[in-house]
């Protein structure tokens, strides 16, 4: 993918918003890839968490928000636990979710009416309560 | 002196109670994971303590909010903590997720004065974060002691090859949970060995089961569960042991989905650790709620001669 960097984009408003919500300094990331290597759902992600962190740092909002990475994150904190720079990546992934869910379009990441029949009844409360928190605006 | 009366095997036993622990069950333990709750309560009586259920508890929210500005999600666990403090000084839970949410919120209230004030203002309490939060397994290790537990075992689970599945929430974030080593925990293994079982070592024991992705992307969660189960089975496990109704949903109830995708997959039973404790303590297997387990554990238990 060809990325065009401009002075205006790097560490722009979008980046600052993610940093503010997550409380993390994205400049600390040196792209070692530890987070992605240990991530249990990386196999299904379009790009790894470390790449999303780079996109975000570079202010590439569209590229960062377009991928399924942060939606697939299970907040398991394995990346957080293993990051040699002490970045809480799970918080960054959640902040990206929040950036989308808090937009005024209020576009949810799951559609409850589209659940297959009997699906909700099968789930334990714990799953749909945490799921709704993560996927609904 | 207080006593409890409980059916053990064919008889009723009078049990002396020396301790109380305030207990937050959480909503799933009242419904889909009743077997977890009931077995924990009964086992505690056999071990000389009672789980005293909190009054008027609510759901804890099932996720610790990772967005630093999301104070709202901190309110339910904060309210639970504040009301618990009015009743005692130690609070225990069974569900690993509840434990994580409650313990992390407690730490936050202890350490962050500004948020503490905001929260207290909102819930109209004055809670300072001075409760001790213990997981049931921690009570067994610290307060009962595994050697003492071993002595109380009536029916050792000899020959049972059980894989202790920690998942994530008991352990991480390591600094806040302080439960055990972050990469190589052993508490769960020590517990199983105290019951006489053989704990299976497998590389996926602290790997995530996919958690709430069973709502967002069910196929991804199924795959995560398959890897965990596969790894345990490959290392010789005949059964998995869980501390969390969400893990249990993903690794037990989703085995039928796994089987559809991976035809060679052979289902194995998943126990709550309190169910195994119950068998070892001599409780009648009919009181252990196995009808709520997705993969029926009875064939394995009878093959091992534990029934
Ligand atoms: S582990 Fe930390 S430093 Fe390494 S790529 Fe991930 S976020 Fe960056
Ligand atoms: S918290 Fe999310 S990104 Fe990090 S390892 Fe877990 S699933 Fe992957
Ligand atoms: S975490 Fe779950 S089980 Fe715990 S109280 Fe909340 S929804 Fe219920
Ligand atoms: S393994 Fe899954 S459900 Fe269990 S604690 Fe981890 S994320 Fe939660």
Rounded alpha-carbon distances, angstroms, from residue B148 to A34, B93, B191:
41, 22, 11
| Residues belonging to chain A | 137
Q: Is A136 on the interface with B (CB under 8 A)?
A: no
Question: Chain-centre distance of CA A83, in angstroms?
Answer: 16
| DSSP one-letter code for A113 | G
Task: Judge whether B165 and B240 are in contact, CB under 8 Å.
Answer: yes
Distance CA B263, CA B31 (A): 31
Residue B96 is encoded by which pair of tokens?
């690993």
CB contact under 8 A, B69 and A21: yes
Q: What are phi and psi of B201, to 5 degrees?
A: -90, 125
CB contact under 8 A, A81 and B63: no
Cis amide prior to A39 (ω within 30 degrees): no
Q: Give the number of whichever ligand sits closest to the CA of residue A130.
A: 3
Burial tier of B242 (Cβ tally within 10 Å: 0-12, 13-18, 19+): buried
Closest CA of chain B from A125, distance in Å: 6
* pLDDT of B15 over the 90 cut: no
CB contact under 8 A, A133 and B214: no
Report pLDDT digits (tens) over B90-142.
999 999 999 999 999 999 999 999 999 999 999 999 999 999 999 999 999 99
Q: Strands of B270-272's sheet, edge to edge?
A: B198-199, B161-164, B239-242, B270-272
Confidence of residue B19 (pLDDT cuts 50, 70, 90): confident
What percent of chain B lies above the pLDDT cut of 90?
93
CA of B7 to the centre of ligand 4 (A): 33
Q: Class of the B155-304 domain?
A: alpha beta
Portion 1-30 of B in contact with A at CB < 8 A: 26-28
Report pLDDT digits (tens) over B249-264.
999 999 999 999 999 9
Q: Which CATH number is correct for B2-136, 3.90.950.20, 1.20.1050.140, 1.25.10.10, 3.40.190.10?
A: 1.20.1050.140
Domains in chain A, please, with CATH?
Answer: 13-103 (1.10.1060.10), 108-137 (no CATH)
Report pLDDT digits (tens) over B252-296.
999 999 999 999 999 999 999 999 999 999 999 999 999 999 999
For B54-74, b/e burial (b = at least 16 CB within 10 A) is: beebebbbbbbbbbbeeeebb
- Interface pTM, i.e. ipTM: 0.94
Report pLDDT digits (tens) over A86-111.
999 999 999 999 999 999 988 999 99
Confidence of residue A5 (pLDDT cuts 50, 70, 90): confident
Q: Is B247 on the interface with A (CB under 8 A)?
A: no
Report pLDDT digits (tens) over B67-88.
999 999 999 999 999 999 999 9
Can you give the residue ranges of every domain in chain B? 2-136, 155-304
pTM of the model: 0.94
């Amino acid at each position: 993918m060809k990325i065009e960097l401009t002075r205006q984009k790097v560490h722009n408003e979008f980046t600052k918003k993610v940093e503010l919500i997550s409380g993390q300094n994205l400049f600390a990331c040196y792209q070692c890839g530890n987070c992605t290597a240990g991530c249990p759902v990386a196999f299904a992600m379009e790009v790894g968490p470390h790449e999303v962190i780079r996109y975000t740092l570079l202010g590439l909002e569209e590229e960062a928000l377009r991928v399924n990475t942060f939606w697939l994150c299970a907040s398991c904190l394995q990346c957080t636990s293993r990051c040699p720079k002490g970045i809480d990546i799970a918080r960054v992934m959640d902040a990206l979710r929040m950036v989308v869910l808090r937009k005024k379009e209020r576009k949810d990441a799951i559609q409850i009416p589209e659940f297959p029949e009997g699906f909700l009844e099968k789930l334990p409360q714990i799953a749909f309560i945490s799921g709704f928190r993560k996927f609904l605006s | 002196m207080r006593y409890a009366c409980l059916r053990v095997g064919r008889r009723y036993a009078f049990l002396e109670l020396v301790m109380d622990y305030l207990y937050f069950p959480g909503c799933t333990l009242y419904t889909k994971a009743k077997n977890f709750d009931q077995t924990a309560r009964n086992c505690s009586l056999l071990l000389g303590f009672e789980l005293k259920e909190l009054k008027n508890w609510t759901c804890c929210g099932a996720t610790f909010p990772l967005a630093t500005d999301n104070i709202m999600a901190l309110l339910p666990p904060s309210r639970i903590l504040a009301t618990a403090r009015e009743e005692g000084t130690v609070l225990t839970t069974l569900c690993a997720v509840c434990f994580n949410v409650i313990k992390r919120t407690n730490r936050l209230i202890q350490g962050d004065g500004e948020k503490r004030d905001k929260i207290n203002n909102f819930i109209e309490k004055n809670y300072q974060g001075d409760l001790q939060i213990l997981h049931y397994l921690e009570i067994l290790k610290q307060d009962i002691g595994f050697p003492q537990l071993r002595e109380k075992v009536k029916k050792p689970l000899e020959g049972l090859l059980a894989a202790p599945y920690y998942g994530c929430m008991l352990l991480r974030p390591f600094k806040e949970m302080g439960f055990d080593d972050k990469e190589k925990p052993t508490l769960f293994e020590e517990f199983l060995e105290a019951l006489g079982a053989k704990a299976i070592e497998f590389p996926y024991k602290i790997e995530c089961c996919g958690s709430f992705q069973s709502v967002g992307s069910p196929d991804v969660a199924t795959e995560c569960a398959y890897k965990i189960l596969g790894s345990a089975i490959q290392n010789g496990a005949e059964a998995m042991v869980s501390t969390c109704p969400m893990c249990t949903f993903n690794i037990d109830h989703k085995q039928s989905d796994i089987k559809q995708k991976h035809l060679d997959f052979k289902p194995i039973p998943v126990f709550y650790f309190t169910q195994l404790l119950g068998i070892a303590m001599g409780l009648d297997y009919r009181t252990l709620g196995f009808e709520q387990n997705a993969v029926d554990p009875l064939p394995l238990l009878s093959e091992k001669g534990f029934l």
